[in-house]
Structure 1
């Protein structure tokens, strides 16, 4: 079985002591590739060091997370843009809108998101989008860029079927992770109606751990539980879920 973790923070402090074992466990479950989103400049060194340590397996993105947007966001954006000009990345991200914790820098979040969408367009890269408590605002912000050809992934999707239809209608994919294993999330009903051609799998490790390990540190080996849950919902073999979603990930990232 071939699985691809389209969104994982393997450079996180939580993995500092056992990253080698974490990668080995994931590979033992069939996870062949790991895609790492940047958060801000504090994550760049560790992220790219992992990419160097696992060539052809670990791939870096470059961008600024909305929760890292503050009064100094332009400086952070200039660092990210300099990296994009310096070397190849598989995507811009993760970028987007997050109104869950704090709305102090709402306008700055919009500006940072729009700048990063333009970067992706200019460089013919996909964008990996983070949205929390801002689904409609994010969809509306993306629409004019999607009309110009922007593509990418709405990572950690947890919206309604109407949201999913709007996103896939723009040509974007949906990143589905551990939330699909939670009983009360409502995501299972959405997945029932969605074609797998619109889906990539992700863990968002170390966050959003799937059942049966919910509450513990998430890791990329647990991607298998996400694939198995989708297979159950769709009443199809897990091997088919793995094959289709992996092909979707390789196509959008170009590797």
Structure 2
């Protein structure tokens, strides 16, 4: 059984003291593919080091996270563009809009989002979307870029059933993580109405640990709790859902 974690910040400082043990726990559980989203240029070397340590298991993205869209965002976007021209990446992400922390940067967040979507199209890559308190603002940008060359993952999907349907209409998969296990997560109320061909599994490690680890550091091994919850909702075996979601990830990331 192969399980794929489509979104994990395994280069994070949170893992500096036990990264090897953390990775081994995941590998022992059959979690053998890890897709690694970028934040900004300050993490680039750590991402490359992680790839070098686990070349058969680590698949890198490049991009500028919306909470890191600051005054120097154009220089950061130049870094993303340069990286794409120099080597292979599997997605442009994570990119999008985050209005939880700072609403004043909405305009430049959307500008950066749109620019990176266009980069993804140029390189025929998927996008991985970060959306927090910003569904309308994200959909506005997606609507302006809609087309067959727009595809990817709506990372950490936490919206309504209607928002899920709209995300799917833009050729996105839904990234399902720890939130589906939360009592107040709400998405568990309609997940079984979403065909599993539209979802991928993720952790967002070290963030958003699933129940019963909520509030603690997340890690890729805990994706097994996400899989268990989804199996209960879909009334499917772990093996069956692991196969479906891993194939979905292969379809998105073209591997």
TM-score of the two chains, using structure 1 as the length reference? 0.98
Give the match for residue 121 of structure 1. 121
Give the match for residue 220 of structure 2. 220
1:206 counterpart = 2:176:
no
Query: What secondary structure, in the 3-state scheme, does the structure 1 residue paired with 2:179 have?
Result: helix
Query: What secondary structure, in the 3-state scheme, does the structure 2 residue paired with 1:89 have?
Result: coil
Written as runs of structure 1 = structure 2, the 5 A alignment for 1:89-238 is 89-238=89-238
For 1:176-210, what per-residue CA distance to the aligned partner results, in whole angstroms no more than 9, with x for missing partners?
00000001111101212100000000000000000
Distance (Å, rounded) in 2 between the aligned partners of 1:134 and 1:238: 33
Q: CA deviation at 1:171?
A: 1.2
Give the match for residue 48 of structure 1. 48
Distance (Å, rounded) in 1 between the aligned partners of 2:80 and 2:182: 35
Unaligned runs of 5+ in 1: none
Q: CA deviation at 1:2?
A: 1.1
Q: How many residues align?
A: 255
Give the match for residue 10 of structure 2. 10
Distance (Å, rounded) in 1 between the aligned partners of 2:56 and 2:151: 23
Q: CA deviation at 1:148?
A: 4.8
Distance (Å, rounded) in 1 between the aligned partners of 2:147 and 2:243: 29
Distance (Å, rounded) in 1 between the aligned partners of 2:52 and 2:10: 13
Distance (Å, rounded) in 1 between the aligned partners of 2:135 and 2:242: 27
TM-score of the two chains, using structure 2 as the length reference? 0.98
Unaligned runs of 5+ in 2: none
For 1:38-71, what per-residue CA distance to the aligned partner results, in whole angstroms no more than 9, with x for missing partners?
0000111001110111112001100000000011
Written as runs of structure 1 = structure 2, the 5 A alignment for 1:51-66 is 51-66=51-66
Over 4 Å off, 4+ runs: none
Structure 1 vs Structure 2 CA RMSD: 0.9
Q: CA deviation at 1:144?
A: 2.9
Query: What secondary structure, in the 3-state scheme, does the structure 1 residue paired with 2:104 have?
Result: coil
